[in-house]
Amino acid sequence: MRKPLLATLISVVLGAAALAGTTGTAAAAPARPDTAAPAAATAALTPAGTPVPVAAASFAGTVALSNCSGSLVRMPNSQASDPGLVMTNGHCLETGFPSAGQVITNQSSTRSFTLLNASAGTAGTLKANKVAYATMTDTDVTLYQLTKTYAQIQQSTGIAPLTLSATHPVQGHAINVVSGYWKRVYSCSVDGFAYRLKEDQWTWKDAVRYTPQCQVIGGTSGSPVIDTSTGRITAINNTINESGESCTLDNPCEVNEQGAVTIRKGTGYAQETYGIPACFTTGNKLNLSATGCTLPKPATAPAH
C-alpha cells in the first residue's frame, strides 16, 4: 500500500521537502521522467444536483490528507443539499489500518482535509463529523461525511465534487491518478483486472491493474482514478508492488480463479468504486441493505 507511514518513506518525504523548501508541492515529488498531465474535468452541481460538464481539466475537487490523497465526491444521484463526502483509502484511516474482515460505519471523526482548486492551490478546509464507511476487506476505501453540504462548500470555495461512476471500469481506457497530497497526476491506462489482489492479511476483489506509466508513490494512496473519457471516478488508487516480493506488505500479488499467484514488480493497482453509489441512498445516507449494495457489512456479534 502506497502511504507515507513507513519510516523509510518518511525520511524520503522529509528530505524532498527540505530540498524543495516546502511540503507537498510538485517540486517535492521525487524526480522521474514521466510528466504530470492535467486531471479530468470535474462537474458542477445545479440546485437539482444535475452534473454539468466542465471543459477545463484541473485538480479541483481533490483533497490532501495528513498522510494520503483523496477527493470530494458525490454519487450520481446526490443533491446539492446533501452533506458532502470525502473518499480516501481504508488504510488512510486516522485510527489505523482496519483488520481483514473489519468494517467500520458511523464512527465519530473530526478529521480535516485541504481542498484543492484547479491549479492545485488551497481552496479551503473541509471537516468531517464521522467516518460513514471504512474497510480494507474486498476493497480499500474510507468515506467521510462532512459538516457542510455540497452547496455550502461550492458557495464558500467555488469547488464542486467529483462524481463516482456507477459502471465497471473498462480495460484500455485512459485514466488519470490525481494526487492531492503530492499535487501530481499520473497518466496511464487500465491494463486489466486482478481477480484477487492479496497484500499481507488483506484481499481485494477485481482490482484495476495499471499500465507501467503509473508509477505511484507513497502519499498517492486514496487518489481518485478518473476515466478521461467520462471525467468520472472509476477507482481509487491504493498500492504498487515495490520490490517483487509475493503477497507481502507493499508487495501485492495477483491470485486467479484457480489460485495461481502472479507477481508483477513495479505494477500499480486501484480498487473499483462503481459499487459504492448503490450503498448510499437519499441524503447521502449509508444503507448497506439497499438493493444492489455489495460492500462488505460489519460482522454481527455472536449471540450469548
Residue type at 162 in one-letter notation: L
Q: Model-level pTM?
A: 0.84
pLDDT digits (tens, 9 = 90+) for 255-296: 999 999 999 999 999 999 999 999 999 999 999 999 999 999
pLDDT digits (tens, 9 = 90+) for 147-164: 999 999 999 999 999 999
CB contact burial 190-229 (16+ within 10 A = b; e otherwise): bbebbebbbbeebbbbbbbbbbeebbbbbbbbbbbbbbbe
Confidence of residue 28 (pLDDT cuts 50, 70, 90): very low
Contacts within 8 Å (CB) and 24+ apart, 45-51 = 45/74, 45/78, 45/79, 45/80, 45/150, 45/151, 45/154, 45/160, 45/161, 46/80, 47/80, 47/151, 48/79, 48/80, 49/74, 49/77, 49/78, 49/79, 49/80, 49/82, 51/76, 51/163
pLDDT beyond 50 at 44: no
Q: Which CATH superfamily is domain 42-165 in?
A: Trypsin-like serine proteases (2.40.10.10)
Contact 267, 212 (CB under 8 A): yes
Instruction: Report pLDDT for 1.
Output: 77
Confidence of residue 218 (pLDDT cuts 50, 70, 90): very high
Rg of the Cα atoms in the chain: 18
Start-to-end CA distance of the chain, whole Å, equals 38
pLDDT digits (tens, 9 = 90+) for 183-199: 999 999 999 999 999 99
For the chain, the domains span 42-165
Instruction: Report pLDDT for 107.
Output: 97
C-alpha–C-alpha distance, residues 142 and 9, integer Å: 22
C-alpha–C-alpha distance, residues 208 and 195, integer Å: 9
Instruction: Report pLDDT for 22.
Output: 31
C-alpha–C-alpha distance, residues 135 and 102, integer Å: 6
Place of cell 491518478: 177
Contact 210, 155 (CB under 8 A): no
What number is the average pLDDT over the span 171-180? 96
pLDDT digits (tens, 9 = 90+) for 219-228: 999 999 999 9
pLDDT digits (tens, 9 = 90+) for 108-152: 999 999 999 999 999 999 999 999 999 999 999 999 999 999 999
pLDDT digits (tens, 9 = 90+) for 51-96: 333 333 479 999 999 999 999 999 999 999 999 999 999 999 999 9
